[in-house]
């Protein structure tokens, strides 16, 4: 999917909501556990109920890998279902990968070709040659960790190097990499006051923003400081939407929560 | 596996060799492609031919994920084969994972429980709460990226923060984390002159050292500057061993290369 197609979907749906499909078998409604593939059954219901309210889905690969082969199969069925039924939706493999060059190429192949995601999250610690193999895929997007939403973000990401925080070095350096137009960035909503500085470095890039809701971030502040001329935001919510109810009405409850967020977002787009 | 069991294996085999099982279907002998599971068939032959010469095997997960479900199945068969036939061998899932706390717990479950690896490599960018969930598993080992073997290591890892390089901050900070006794570190052989400084910070920790051979690192220098009282090194070689031949004799050729390295290592242990 091109960035322009994503922007056009955001304007059409008046939503920049991304729904995180982080499925934990201990948290989904009990009646689904008797399904042959409870994870996929859960995702399918959530997707059927919410696809008109969001522009992106983001399965975090950890939740699938934890169930081994069966989990990987559920991930494959989930991405195939989205691509078949709702090809207009932007898909994110939240995998936080990154390795030396030839190895990163294999990860890119895994997520862009084998699983056919539109994008993948990548960690910057190993630098340029660990990220460029992902960037080589045209109309695929590499979402680089910049400033994450967790407490540990303050351990290294905000440390100062030559008068500037590490995450700003990551932003600036990444702009010099080949095919950097295929970059987006992860910036946590819990640090909304940082968005103004970030927009000085990357005025137009899309930001994937976790941490609204369960982790305490605030949509108003993120939009105030982080929105670009073309919106430039994908706000992720996982637990707040998908676990809105653990009863038989879980999908409808998720749709209500997603609809609340979409309506709030509509106000910021207009 | 405990660290003491690993040390005892190193002394018994007079080897601190780790063999990287990074299987690329374009590089393995053609006759294996007609096997039902060519990746596992390749790994099984390599393991049968080299297990007495090395103390660790390290599949890099990228090479398995690139082949989707089939690849994950091959990874599962490979780790099960090693654990069944050679439980004395230390196993490393070279996965370079790391995410917010509850998500890292899922990755830990994937590699320590579902796949039963002894250790997993983890990226430090997201800080303490992204690593501690791995450290909570006793007699499992978390191998934190410190200074990697690629050119991109100089993009961020060697940048100076308050008079000290980022990778040294990673080493020092990680020592304060809960269950830090379960930490090992990745330090590339291509930067052997850094080992002396690193040993001042972590005198006893095990270091997983990629980059000897194909990437240009030098075993003599790594041992000179990096070896601890209890050896404290696992030297990884992947391509130099497993692709020593792409003919029917590939496993014997791998054993010859592994034996050469083991003999060289024996000289440094005595």
Q: How far apart are CA A148 and CA A220, in angstroms?
A: 18
Q: Give yes or no for residue B173 having a pLDDT over 90.
A: yes
Instruction: Indicate yes or no: CB of A156 within 8 angstroms of CB of B145.
Output: no
- Residues within 8 A of A (CB atoms), B 14-43 only: 22, 24
Instruction: Indicate yes or no: CB of A68 within 8 angstroms of CB of B72.
Output: yes
Residue appearing with tokens 């038989």: A248
DSSP for B87-121, please give it.
Answer: TTSEEEEEEEE--SHHHHHHHHIIIIIIS--SEEE
- Which three-class secondary structure string do you get for B198-260? HHHHCCCCCEEECCECCCCECHHHHHHHHCECCECEEEEECHHHHCCCCCCCHHHHHHHHHHH
Q: Are B58 and B236 a contacting pair, CB within 8 Å?
A: yes
Parse chain A into domains and list their residue ranges: 3-269
Q: How far apart are CA B253 and CA B102, in angstroms?
A: 44
Chain A residue numbers with beta carbons less than 8 Å from the beta carbon of B107 are: 62, 65-66
Chain A residue numbers with beta carbons less than 8 Å from the beta carbon of B212 are: none
Q: Give yes or no for residue A191 having a pLDDT over 80.
A: no
Instruction: Indicate yes or no: CB of A161 within 8 angstroms of CB of B157.
Output: no
How many Cβ atoms are within 10 Å of B97's Cβ, its own excluded? 29
**pLDDT tens per residue, range A202-252:** 999 999 999 887 666 689 999 999 999 999 999 999 999 999 999 999 999
Record the tokens describing residue A30, joined without a space.
């009990």
Sheet with B164-165, side-by-side order of all strands: A164-165, A160-161, B160-161, B164-165
Q: With an 8 Å Cβ cutoff, is B74 touching chain A?
A: no
| Alpha helix (H) residue ranges in A51-100 | 62-65, 68-85
Q: Of all helices (H) and strands (E), which one includes residue B174?
A: helix B166-174
| A243 phi and psi angles, rounded to 5 deg | -110, 30
Q: Give yes or no for residue B130 having a pLDDT over 70.
A: yes
Mean pLDDT to the nearest integer, A93-99: 98
Q: Closest partner residue to B128 among A71, A98, A155, by Cβ? A: A155
Instruction: Check residue A37 and give its pLDDT.
Output: 98
Q: Which residues of B are known to be catalytic?
A: 96
Burial class of residue A14 in the structure, from the number of CB atoms within 10 Å of its CB (0-12 exposed, 13-18 middle, 19+ buried):
middle
Record the tokens describing residue A55, joined without a space.
């522009």
Q: How far apart are CA B79 and CA B58, in angstroms?
A: 10
DSSP for A32-61, please give it.
Answer: GGGSSSHHHHHHHHHHHHHTTT-SEEE-BT
Q: Of all helices (H) and strands (E), which one includes residue A122?
A: strand A119-122
**pLDDT tens per residue, range B34-75:** 999 999 999 999 999 999 999 999 999 999 999 999 999 999
Q: How far apart are CA B7 and CA A148, in angstroms?
A: 37
Q: Which fold has domain B3-269?
A: TIM Barrel (3.20.20)
Confidence of residue B232 (pLDDT cuts 50, 70, 90): very high
Q: Closest partner residue to A157 among B100, B125, B131, by Cβ? A: B125
Instruction: Check residue B125 and give its pLDDT.
Output: 98
Q: Helix or strand or coil: residue B164? A: strand
The residue from A14, A73, A96, A128 that is catalytic is: A96
* Residue among A20, A74, A102, A126 with most chain B CBs within 10 A, to mutate: A126
How many Cβ atoms are within 10 Å of B29's Cβ, its own excluded? 18
Q: Helix or strand or coil: residue B58? A: strand
* Residue among A21, A65, A175 with most chain B CBs within 10 A, to mutate: A65
Q: With an 8 Å Cβ cutoff, is A129 touching chain B?
A: yes
């Amino acid at each position: 999917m091109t960035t322009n197609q994503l922007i056009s979907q955001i304007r059409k749906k008046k939503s920049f909501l991304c729904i995180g499909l982080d499925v934990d078998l201990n948290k989904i409604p009990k009646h689904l556990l008797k399904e042959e593939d409870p994870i996929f059954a859960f995702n399918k219901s959530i997707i059927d109920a919410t696809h008109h309210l969001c522009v992106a889905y983001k399965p975090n690969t950890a939740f699938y890998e934890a169930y081994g082969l069966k989990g990987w199969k559920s991930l494959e069925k989930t991405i195939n279902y989205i691509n078949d039924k709702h090809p207009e939706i932007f898909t994110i493999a939240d995998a936080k990968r990154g390795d030396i060059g030839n190895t990163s190429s294999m990860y890119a192949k895994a997520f862009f070709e084998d699983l056919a995601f539109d994008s993948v999250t990548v960690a910057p610690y190993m630098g340029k040659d660990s990220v460029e193999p992902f960037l080589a895929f045209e109309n695929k997007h590499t979402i680089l960790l910049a400033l994450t939403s967790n407490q540990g973000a303050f351990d290294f990401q905000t440390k100062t190097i030559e008068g500037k925080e590490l995450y700003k070095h990551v932003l600036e350096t990444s702009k010099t990499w080949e095919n950097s137009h295929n970059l987006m960035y992860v910036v946590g909503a819990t640090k909304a006051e940082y968005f103004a500085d970030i927009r000085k470095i990357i005025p137009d890039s899309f930001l994937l923003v976790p941490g609204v809701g369960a982790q305490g971030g605030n949509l108003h502040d993120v939009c105030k400081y982080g929105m670009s001329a073309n919106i430039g935001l994908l706000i992720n919510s996982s637990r707040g939407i998908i676990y809105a109810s653990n009863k038989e009405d879980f999908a409808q409850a998720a749709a209500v929560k997603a609809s609340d967020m979409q309506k709030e977002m509509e106000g910021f787009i207009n």
